[in-house]
């Protein structure tokens, strides 16, 4: 498993991370198998969020790590906060549906995550989705307090466009190192826009404000979430009869490199020079092993484009 540099720093982590959003449905023994499989295959980065089943995923991971043969020092652990959507289901958060980047909520989000994860610190904390009511001064005060106390070592954002990123960065003392964005073979808007520059077709529409180019210039690590999904959690494109040409190409390349389709889909993301990190969401140990193998596959430029075409894309 190759390592990548996170942001413009000396922090290096595995190019593939394990997202634990779906860990809430596992018992602790199965969760142990998941995290030990991930680590065995070179994955040393864990991604979570306080909203994942209202903290249940955090709790299962915390228990599993305690029961496993691994320790806190074996992993970098990242959490996200700012989304409130519980409709009174939990006493841990105020009721309602909103985004909340107040100093109070940010600090409470981190402290709640630390308790559930059974750890003293987070390696990174991300603002989960942009809050149009955010006050940068509140974010700055929260980040300063969390950094000074040693509870958070690095900071970033998730699903932010360039101007939102710059707005937050302009008012805080820490360097934002990460932007977590949806990206996969079947979710390529940030690439399509650049390829279709000076055209008038749908591919030329910028939905994200040139976030890919902005991130490359600023040395921001893009963490690609839902790497095997199409649409917005509509399902996986792997072995999906809706995408026969794509799956045929993934199999062809998988046979060439002696890996599975998940590995090729992962390698396709890692091929991009933006130096992205792939976040796996699967809780299936076999799929984790297969996907992790993509960290050692280097596609040719032509193979990368062939996969892009098989997904239904074109060149102007």
Terminal CA-CA length for the chain: 35
Instruction: Tell me if residue 52 is catalytic.
Output: yes
Select from 42, 115, 123 the least CA-distant residue to 80.
123
Which of 39, 52, 76, 230 is the catalytic position?
Answer: 52
Nearest to 12 by CA among 21, 24, 2: 2
Closest CA to 186 of 295, 275, 265, 301: 265
Residue that has been written with the tokens 């190192």 in this structure: 177
223 backbone φψ class: left, alpha, beta (φ>0; ψ -120 to 50): beta
Residue 118 class from Cβ within 10 Å (0-12 exposed, 13-18 middle, 19+ buried)? middle
The label of the residue with tokens 């006050």 reads 135
Contact 263, 287 (CB under 8 A): no
Q: CB-based burial of residue 216 (10 Å sphere; 0-12 exposed, 13-18 middle, 19+ buried)?
A: middle
Q: How far apart are CA 38 and CA 40, in angstroms?
A: 6
Active site residues: 52
């Amino acid at each position: 498993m190759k390592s990548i540099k996170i942001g413009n720093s000396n922090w290096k982590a595995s190019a593939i991370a394990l997202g634990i959003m779906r860990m809430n449905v596992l018992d602790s023994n199965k969760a142990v198998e998941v995290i030990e499989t991930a680590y065995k295959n070179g994955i040393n980065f864990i991604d979570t969020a306080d909203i994942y089943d209202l903290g249940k995923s955090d709790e299962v991971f915390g228990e599993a790590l305690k029961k496993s043969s691994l320790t806190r020092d074996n992993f970098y652990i990242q959490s996200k906060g700012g989304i409130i959507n519980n409709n009174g289901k939990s006493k841990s958060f105020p009721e309602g549906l909103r985004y909340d980047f107040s100093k109070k909520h940010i600090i409470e989000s981190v402290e709640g995550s630390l308790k559930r994860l059974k750890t003293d610190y987070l390696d990174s904390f991300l603002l989960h989705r942009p809050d149009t009511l955010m006050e940068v001064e509140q974010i700055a005060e929260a980040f300063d307090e969390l950094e000074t106390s040693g509870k958070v070592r690095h900071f970033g954002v998730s699903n932010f466009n360039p101007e939102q990123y710059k707005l937050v960065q302009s008012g805080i003392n820490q360097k934002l190192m990460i932007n977590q964005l949806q990206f996969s073979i079947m979710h390529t808007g940030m690439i399509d826009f650049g390829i279709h520059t000076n055209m008038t077709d749908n591919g030329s529409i910028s939905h994200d404000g040139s976030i890919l180019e902005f991130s490359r210039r600023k040395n921001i690590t893009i963490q690609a979430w839902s790497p095997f999904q199409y649409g917005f959690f509509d399902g996986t494109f792997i072995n999906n009869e809706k995408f026969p040409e794509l799956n045929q190409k993934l199999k062809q390349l998988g046979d060439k490199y002696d890996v599975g389709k998940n590995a090729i889909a992962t390698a396709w993301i890692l091929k991009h020079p933006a130096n992205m990190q792939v976040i796996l969401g699967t809780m299936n140990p076999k799929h984790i092993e297969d996907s992790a193998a993509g960290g050692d596959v280097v596609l040719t430029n032509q193979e990368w484009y062939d996969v892009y075409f098989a997904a239904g894309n074109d060149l102007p």
